[in-house]
Amino acid sequence: MDAMIKKDYFLLSLYDKESYVDFVKELNKLGEFNLLATAGTAAWCRKQGVECETIEDVFELSPRLQGQVKTLHPDLYTALLADSGEGLNIKGVAVDLTPFHVENGEINLKKVDIGGVSMLRAAAKNYHQVLPVVDQSTAELLIENYPPTEQIRRRLARKAIERCLSYDAEFAGCLDPGAPEFPSSPCRLSSLRYGENPHQEAAFYSKFGTELPFKQLAGEALSYTNCLDLRAALRILGDQRPEASMIKHTNPTGWSAAERLETAIKSAWSGDPKSAYGGVLGVNRTFTTECLEQVEEYFIEAIAAPDFENEVVEALTNQPRPRLIEASPVIFETGEEFKSFADLYLYQSVEAGDDIYKGWRTVSESKPTEEEELGLQQMWRLVRFVTSNAAVVGTRDMVLGVGAGQQSRVDAVEIAVQKLREHHSHFKESLVLASDGFFPFPDNVEVAAQAGVDAIVVPGGSIRDDEVIAAANQNEISLVFTDMRLFSH
């Protein structure tokens, strides 16, 4: 050990070693460090043609508790926390934390990584001297920016602490699976162009230090409102058929499903073309050049899609808009939702999948046809993403009118019907309407009947349900109660 006391080391503690082959080789090429690892990782490094010493030899350690204790040693942490030049120095750590092993519903506590988290915290504390790496993105950041500036060092240290927070949160979730994952300290990921208005600052924060769940491929920087609309555009999409949604101020101006995506896009825009101007488009299939030709005449702030053809990206690379956002609707299938409340967080669970269709019952004399039933299911799925009080009228393939954010239920229905008459008066068959809350009075049914609506789906639960049902029977409208409210605020 005396002969090596003045060496600078980069310590490796890697669970998924194969993911770090390129990093280890690039790190070795720098020629700045001697690599150091536990016996298993050191042997793997040598197989890659990279020399690596073992902590067992350098610090004269031996693993304890069947390998649970490998790196928890005063000499090792002295090397991590010491100022440069004070004996043996560890100048960097790459830690790929051991994932949690859940067997028969129980976490294997012996597999929980203690040493890795401790080394990351020590490295972050001494970031002026030690470079922490926690994943592929930080590995690339270090190699591409070596030697690192103060800013890069701080960023790596922040990522290390965020990874520790994420690991701790996942650990807590394994111990008590029924409790929501709660952000103990949200982490700032990136700045946004501005907030809801240009004078307001805005940024992306992560619950537990995760990366942004999307990639921007083209266009100017996103604003706060762009992000809210992108979220709305993606959440509303299903996966059974090609679908497109047009969003303005978090509410749909149109939605459509069709055999071809470009057809769905055209129908989504025509849902309410006046309101769609300057909105955000979301689709659930690859955005092709044919899709681009369809939207060239539209003014759209951003387009969200699972992926884009290269020709589309190339065509819009130097354009400020539409922004191209590569993201999948599945990123919002988390089953939970948090909102800020002063310096607190509000949490609520989010209903999933087919749960919203359970308990449906037809309460009118008229029963919905098969086509109307499919339309009711679609409009019910969509109305939960419209700001309350909300009403949506349409068919199984297309939204024809939306009434959003009204204090009065009947006002929401009247606005949805007004949009229907203004843009789609030629639709006469299988028209359905969904309301996110019960009808407090039968006037809602009367308004829908005058517009030619054939079937309605609502939660039910009003003290005047009998009057509402009677109005439906009088107008020969099929009325379905769901016994589930879908308010959205």
**Which three-class secondary structure string do you get for the chain?**
CHHHCCCEEEEEEECCHHHHHHHHHHHHHHCCCEEEECHHHHHHHHHCCCCCEEHHHHCCCCCECCCCECCCCHHHHHHHHCCCCCCCEEEEEEEECCCCCEECCEECHHHCCCHHHHHHHHHHHCCCCCEEECCHHHHHHHHHCCCCCHHHHHHHHHHHHHHHHHHHHHHHHHHCCCCCCCCCCCEEEEECCCCCCCCCCCEEEECCCCCCCCEEEECCCCCHHHHHHHHHHHHCCCCCCCEEEEEECCEEEEEEECCCHHHHHHHHHHCCHHHHCCEEEEECCCECHHHHHHHCCCCEEEEEECCECHHHHHHHCCCCCCEEEECCHHHHCCCEEEEEECCEEEEEECCCHHHHHCCCEECCCCCCCHHHHHHHHHHHHHHCCCCCCCEEEECCCEEEEEECCCCCHHHHHHHHHHHHHHHCCCCCCCCEEEECCCCCCCHHHHHHHHCCCCEEEECCCCCCHHHHHHHHHHCCCEEEECCCCCCCC
Tell me what pLDDT residue 2 has.
44
How far is the C-alpha of 263 from the C-alpha of 278, rounded, in Å? 20
Per annotation, catalytic residue among 7, 17, 73, 125: 125
User: Taking Cα atoms as reference points, which of 227, 431, 429, 214 lies closest to residue 329?
Assistant: 214
**125 is a catalytic site residue:** yes
Tell me what pLDDT residue 331 has.
66
**423 is a catalytic site residue:** no
pTM, full prediction: 0.69
User: Taking Cα atoms as reference points, which of 327, 269, 324 lies closest to residue 295?
Assistant: 269
| Torsion, CA 386, CA 392, CA 394, CA 400, rounded to 10 | -80
Tell me what pLDDT residue 67 has.
55
Task: Sort 171 into a burial class: Cβ within 10 Å, 0-12 / 13-18 / 19+.
Answer: middle
Cα–chain-centroid distance for residue 27? 33
State which residues of the chain have pLDDT below 70.
1-7, 61-73, 84-87, 102, 104-105, 177-187, 207-211, 331-334, 343, 345, 351-353
Which residue is associated with the tokens 């988290």? 117
Tell me what pLDDT residue 341 has.
74
- In contact, 154 and 175? CB cutoff 8 Å: no
Per annotation, catalytic residue among 47, 91, 249, 266: 249
How far is the C-alpha of 235 from the C-alpha of 252, rounded, in Å? 11
